[in-house]
Structure 1
Amino acid sequence: MVTALSILLILTSLVLVLLVLLHKGRGGGLSDLFGGGVTSSLGGSSIAERNLDRITVGMGLIWFACIVALGLLLKFS
């Protein structure tokens, strides 16, 4: 069970990183360093942004649940 949760944690971590990188930059900072300040018509739909936000939050909740489950399993085993 610990191995399965560890694999799920690694996969959700990688997907979460990719999803966060897909988000549109909202101002200055590091997003401008990687071209976030350039406006583009690609992915500018508010529905697509909203769906990306929902998927990111969902993956974050799965990631958090994996960490809590792994912590409990390792503590009580």
Structure 2
Amino acid sequence: MNPLLIFVLIVWAISGIGLIVFVLLHSGKGTGVSDMIASSLYSTQTGTNIIEKNLDRITIIFAIVFIISLLVLMIIYPQGSIAGA
């Protein structure tokens, strides 16, 4: 395997795992893990809003990196040619 493939696969895997983690951290009507963390750290509503906005930004960044790395993999190795390498 060439170094470019290894690098893109590592970025893809880390961004996929990070995306899963940060999506699970999002709150669903006040019962999410982020609400438990936010309620223990901040008692004000503004603190929770800031945490949610940052959580949204991080999730979007992970999603963009995941999609870009997936597209790069599709361009570099079309139609499953990675198995023949």
The alignment's TM-score, normalised by the length of structure 2, stands at 0.68
Higher relative contact order (CA 8 A, sep 6+): 1
Q: Which has the higher helix share?
A: 2
Q: Percent identity?
A: 29
Unaligned runs of 5+ in 2: 40-47
Q: Is 1:63 matched up with 2:66?
A: yes
Unaligned runs of 5+ in 1: 28-35
Q: Alpha carbon RMSD of aligned pairs, Å?
A: 2.2
The alignment's TM-score, normalised by the length of structure 1, stands at 0.74
Misfit runs of 4+, over 4 Å: none
Size of the aligned set, in residue pairs, is 66
Which protein has the larger Cα radius of gyration, Structure 1 or Structure 2?
A: 2
Q: 1:5 aligned to 4, 8, 27, which one?
A: 8
